[in-house]
Amino acid sequence: MLPEQHDILFSFLTIVFTVFSVIVFINVVQQCKARKDASKAWPVIFGAFILANALFTRHMFTLVQQDQMSFFKWQALTVFVLLLTWGMFFKSENIEKQSPTMIRGMFFWMMVSLPLAGYANWLPQQRSDPPPKAAAITGEMTMEQYTEMGRVIVFGAQQVAGQKAIGKGQCPLCHTFDPGDNMGRCPNLFGVEERSHNRVKEDRYKNQPIKVGETDPASGVKKGATSGEEYLRESLQCPSCYVVEGFGGAGDTKSPMPVIVKPPISLDPVELNAVIAWLQSKETPGDFAKVTVPLPSASDAAAQPKKEAASEGEKPVFVTGSEPVDQMINTLGCPLCHTIPGVEGAVGELGPKLFEKVNAPKRIKDPRYKGKATNTKEYIRESILTPGVYIVKNDETGELYPDGVMPQDFKNKLSIEALDKLVDFISQTEPPPAG
């Protein structure tokens, strides 16, 4: 569901609860007719429950899913009180016989099904967006950026606790990259740069499973790498041109690996080179001497389909904390809304100015503040991760800044290091000296 839409499950439940209150009301009215001593106040009380639930249901349909989830607890509480009142009506005697079996069954089914939905929400959440049709290249790149692009193709930009992140290339599904790590599906790629040069000289490479000069029928690639770079490219474009011993089917003649330039992965030449560049440089961080692939030129960028520009927005944002703080802030888009001293071009007006060294202590003491922070850094951390906890007042207009404008998903875009670095920096921001 999109954030601006209703939550189907909670919308369903609110209707069920209202229907339930109607059924209880009918039951009570019938009982009152049968019992001569029953007070006439009971139907009124249970009628009030119908009214309350109907109003809750009506209100639920004016809310979007996030708000529905937080509001739903009040209706659940009302139904709980309704059940207690119903028990009081029967003086706790023979209650089970009073409700139709289908109602008890439905409650039981809900008691089983709802915790399952809760359990599903308790587990790590990862939404998988379709990969961009091709990575966006704008302007000139450095080799560092290009290898980083390769790393993102392999691992993706978004990290999830306890999971191996998987990018567009889907490589970590089968390959491992650290020394000694072995999943058993496909070869460990630690040291692959060095191996690539030696492999093309091996007899096994020259003769198995097809000979150099022959064409692989599945990929249509003619085998014949002579350098490390060519070997890596050939392995990606034609996995069955050479199969590492013990990792193939049919006597190590068929590789289980998909052809990377075909669907479903479909890397384009620029992306393919980026992966090769990363493979060649991954064991020498910061040193790109072993990278032999060329940087993508402006003509490569121009040759890409026009749609790629649109896919820029689809590229997930993630900052690791290794970047300079101003780069992090720009990547996250903070300057679009905030004025941030010390960051060039950060003069946004949509959100409050970030003078937190001065403002944060004041806001913690504000009676409107309902958060848990006790110091400046905690306040900033809270404001980044849950921006709605405290809405700052715009001193110029005298009104609150609009709620819900600031993205709620920074927790998915920041590593722990990046968050600490950002908090440290913002906690030191203060207004420029007067004059």
Measured from the CB atom, is 368 or 411 closer to another protein? 411
Q: Tokens 């620029």 — which residue?
A: 270
Q: Which helix (H) or strand (E) is 360 found in, with range?
A: helix 356-365
Least Å from the CB of residue 65 to another protein: 9
Binding to another protein by CB under 8 A, coded x per residue (else -) over 147-186, reads --------------xxx--x---x--xx-------x-xx-
Largest CA distance in the chain: 101
**Is 375 a binder of another protein (CB under 8 A)?**
no
Measured from the CB atom, is 33 or 411 closer to another protein? 411
The pair of structure tokens assigned to 332 is 């996250």
**Is 109 a binder of another protein (CB under 8 A)?**
yes
Length reported for the chain: 435
From the list 114, 309, 350, 405, which residue makes contact with another protein (rule: CB under 8 A)? 114
Least Å from the CB of residue 276 to another protein: 20
Of 205, 174, 173, 197, the C-alpha closest to 187 is: 174
* φ and ψ of 433, to 5 deg: -60, 145
From the list 414, 422, 425, 427, which residue makes contact with another protein (rule: CB under 8 A)? 414
Q: Which helix (H) or strand (E) is 83 found in, with range?
A: helix 65-89
**Is 110 a binder of another protein (CB under 8 A)?**
yes
Measured from the CB atom, is 82 or 373 closer to another protein? 373
Measured from the CB atom, is 48 or 385 closer to another protein? 385
**Is 105 a binder of another protein (CB under 8 A)?**
yes
Q: For residues 65 and 5, is the Cβ–Cβ distance under 8 A?
A: yes
Q: Which stretch in 9-17, 39-47, 81-89, 226-234 sits in contact with another protein by CB under 8 A?
A: 9-17
Measured from the CB atom, is 173 or 358 closer to another protein? 173
Q: For residues 293 and 277, is the Cβ–Cβ distance under 8 A?
A: yes
Q: What angle separates helix 356-365 from helix 376-385, to the nearest 10 degrees?
A: 90
From the list 34, 41, 44, 116, which residue makes contact with another protein (rule: CB under 8 A)? 116
Least Å from the CB of residue 328 to another protein: 14
**Is 70 a binder of another protein (CB under 8 A)?**
no
Least Å from the CB of residue 252 to another protein: 15
HSE (CB half, 13 Å, CA atoms) of 315? 17
Q: Residue 168, SS3?
A: coil
Which residues lie below 8 Å from residue 311, measured CB to CB, with a gap of 6+?
Answer: 132, 133, 134, 136
Measured from the CB atom, is 104 or 211 closer to another protein? 104
Measured from the CB atom, is 116 or 289 closer to another protein? 116
Q: What gap in Å lies between CA 213 and CA 31, rounded to an integer?
A: 91
**What's 178-232 look like in SS3?**
CCCCCCCCCCCCCCHHHHHHHHCCCHHHHHCCCCCCCECCCCCCECCCCCHHHHH
Measured from the CB atom, is 209 or 228 closer to another protein? 209
Neighbours of 184 (CB within 10 A): 9
**Is 35 a binder of another protein (CB under 8 A)?**
no
Binding to another protein by CB under 8 A, coded x per residue (else -) over 73-102, reads ----------------------------xx
What does the buried/exposed string (b/e) look like for 314-336 if buried means 16 or more CB atoms within 10 Å of the residue's CB? eeebbbeeeeebbebbbebebbe
Q: What angle separates helix 416-426 from helix 376-385, to the nearest 10 degrees?
A: 120
Q: Transcribe 291-312 into DSSP letters.
A: --SPPPPHHHHHHS-THHHHGG
Q: Which helix (H) or strand (E) is 50 found in, with range?
A: helix 41-60
**Is 5 a binder of another protein (CB under 8 A)?**
yes
Measured from the CB atom, is 58 or 262 closer to another protein? 262
Least Å from the CB of residue 126 to another protein: 6
Q: Which of residues 323-362 bind another protein (CB under 8 A)?
A: none
**Is 310 a binder of another protein (CB under 8 A)?**
no
Binding to another protein by CB under 8 A, coded x per residue (else -) over 195-224, reads ----------------------xx------
Binding to another protein by CB under 8 A, coded x per residue (else -) over 122-141, reads xxxxxxxxxx----------
Q: Which of residues 47-66 bind another protein (CB under 8 A)?
A: none
Burial class (CB in 10 A: 0-12, 13-18, 19+), 413: buried
Q: For residues 175 and 187, is the Cβ–Cβ distance under 8 A?
A: yes
Q: Which of residues 214-273 bind another protein (CB under 8 A)?
A: 217-218, 256-258, 262-264
Interface contacts to another protein, rule CB under 8 A: 1-2, 5-9, 12, 16, 101-102, 104-106, 108-110, 112-114, 116-131, 161-163, 166, 170, 173-174, 182, 184-185, 217-218, 256-258, 262-264, 381, 385, 411, 414-416, 419
